[in-house]
Amino acid sequence: MNNQRGSVTVIAIVMLLFLMVIAVAWLPMMTMEKTAASSDYREQQAWYAAEAGYKRAVAALKNKNTDWSWITPEKYLQGSDSMSFIHLSIDGSKVDQKGVWYAVGIMENNVDIDSSYTPEENIDYQITSVGSCQGIRKVIRKTYVLSDTGGSGGGGSDDTDLSYMSNTLVMAGGTVKVDKNQHINQDVDIDDSFGGDLYGKNIIDINDNQAFEHNNVKGQYGKDIKTRIPDKVFEQATYPNLDKAALANFGGKHWDSVQLAAGKDYYLDASTVTANSLTLDASQSAGRTVFIDNSKKNSAVNIQSIFGPESGEPVTLVFSSPNTAMLDSTISGRVRILAAGDFYFGYNNNSTTSRGPLMLLANGNVVIRGYIAPGFVSANGNVEMQTSAVFIGQIQCKGNFSTYGNGKIKFNDTVLKDKYFKVPAGMTAG
């Protein structure tokens, strides 16, 4: 027994030595793992920064921004690996070399866009985004083709196929009631034919309430009719650069007139428009949006005259609330109207006119009083033409279509064939 005295101490010392050897062996490995984890983290942050820069560039192009002071010329992006930070910036401020940042360049035809450039559709933009985190950099280079999106009124027609409207005058999910004898109107080029096809569950002559045979009568379509506009089109957040001050005092007195500046989107509170004889000159607002908040006003917006652009993209008026919107105006130029609820084109009389082209889309019912030529009307409810109304164009609706009191319709596909008139992306069957 005396020979075993102190053996526990020896064993403990041996175990400690063993653990020390293991610890010393693992220390470099742990250091390497920590370094690798830190490097992975910085690489991820650099990628995230580069993606953020790219997405910002795409959003700015979609919104057709005209302030590009925050972007960086391509030659400085190419030289960023040489630690030349002076020209790399976020919003015009020098970057923090030790922080997380991105820098973006945008070129058209291999030439940097200038600080006041106005984006155009169907143009190839070369976007370069450099992201950095504590010295590690990642680069995204992509070509982006601009098409009409939420920034110019709710999106392009890329995924909204309306090919079923080809040669179609009226496409209704319900009953179609028309005057089978169109008659000749001395003021409008309307002859005895419809000029385009009529689709509906029932096609009825409104004068005798009986079905009739006609070479344009096609019966029920049998497939989905895309009439519902996505909710995001009517969300204010979709239009991040609205000028809320310019129209704040518009419409408080008679004979008010305002000319909208090019390259800007505007906000209008419909409840402040109380006077008559008002003029909204949007002739310089090609591709821009007037976001109309009609949540406080379930009645007409008294704008006597609206002037849209004479060429290129239309100006878009967005009536954002499901409240009934009424517009009693003489419209000229190229105009697109998007309504979240019911829409009345004219309300007191039949003097409301659009000598367009006009695109009018609503997530509710549409009532037409007056004259539209040429036009395209879409409703997620019913479309009704009232006494002596005249419509030359194409109409689609989820519900019923009807004309009353010598209302005249005639096929014309000018609007849908116009490459600048696009329905919002993502329209669905209601």
pLDDT digits (tens, 9 = 90+) for 221-264: 988 899 999 999 999 988 988 999 988 888 766 667 889 998 89
Residue 372 parent element (H or E): strand 371-379
**32, part of any domain:** no
Judge contact between 297 and 277, C-beta under 8 A.
no
Task: Please give the structure tokens belonging to residue 346.
Answer: 């004219």
Q: Structural domain tally of the chain? A: 2
Query: Model confidence at 24, in pLDDT bands (50, 70, 90)?
Result: confident
Rounded Cα distance between 129 and 203, Å, is: 57
> Where is pLDDT greater, at 182 or 374?
374
Q: Quick one: which of 275, 218, 215, 285 has its CA closest to 251? A: 275
Instruction: Kindly give, in sequence order, each residue whose CB lies less than 8 Å from that of residue 103, ignoring residues fewer than 6 positions away.
Output: 53, 72, 76, 77, 80, 88, 89, 90, 95, 129, 130
- In this prediction, residues 30-42 reach a mean pLDDT of 66
Q: Are residues 130 and 160 in the same domain?
A: no
Rounded Cα distance between 313 and 147, Å, is: 11
**165, part of any domain:** yes
Q: Are residues 126 and 172 in the same domain?
A: no
Residue type, 268: L
**202, part of any domain:** yes
Look up the domain containing 130 and give its range.
Answer: 41-146
**415, part of any domain:** yes
Q: To the nearest whole number, what is the mean pLDDT of the chain?
A: 81
122, 146, 170: which is the final residue of a domain? 146
Query: Model confidence at 334, in pLDDT bands (50, 70, 90)?
Result: very high
146, 177, 195: which is the final residue of a domain? 146
Q: Are residues 105 and 170 in the same domain?
A: no
**393, part of any domain:** yes
**pLDDT of res. 297:** 74
Q: Are residues 109 and 246 in the same domain?
A: no
Q: Are residues 65 and 211 in the same domain?
A: no
CB atoms within 10 A of CB 336: 29
Inform me whether the pLDDT recorded for 213 exceeds 70. Answer: yes
Rounded Cα distance between 16 and 174, Å, is: 88
Rounded Cα distance between 330 and 341, Å, is: 21
**217, part of any domain:** yes
Query: Model confidence at 111, in pLDDT bands (50, 70, 90)?
Result: confident
Judge contact between 314 and 420, C-beta under 8 A.
yes
CA dist 4 → 7, 8, 12, 308, 332 (Å): 6, 9, 14, 105, 110
State phi, psi for 145 to the nearest 5 degrees: -105, 120
Q: Are residues 140 and 265 in the same domain?
A: no
Q: Are residues 311 and 274 in the same domain?
A: yes
Rounded Cα distance between 294 and 302, Å, is: 12
Q: Are residues 234 and 330 in the same domain?
A: yes
**34, part of any domain:** no
Residue type, 305: S
> Where is pLDDT greater, at 240 or 185?
240
Does the reported pTM lie above 0.85? no
Query: Model confidence at 133, in pLDDT bands (50, 70, 90)?
Result: confident
Q: Are residues 225 and 76 in the same domain?
A: no
Rounded Cα distance between 273 and 257, Å, is: 12
123, 146, 169: which is the final residue of a domain? 146
**325, part of any domain:** yes
**Tokens 């470099």 appear where?**
28
Q: Are residues 140 and 158 in the same domain?
A: no
Q: Are residues 230 and 281 in the same domain?
A: yes
**pLDDT of res. 33:** 60
Task: Please give the structure tokens belonging to residue 82.
Answer: 């040489």
Q: Are residues 267 and 127 in the same domain?
A: no
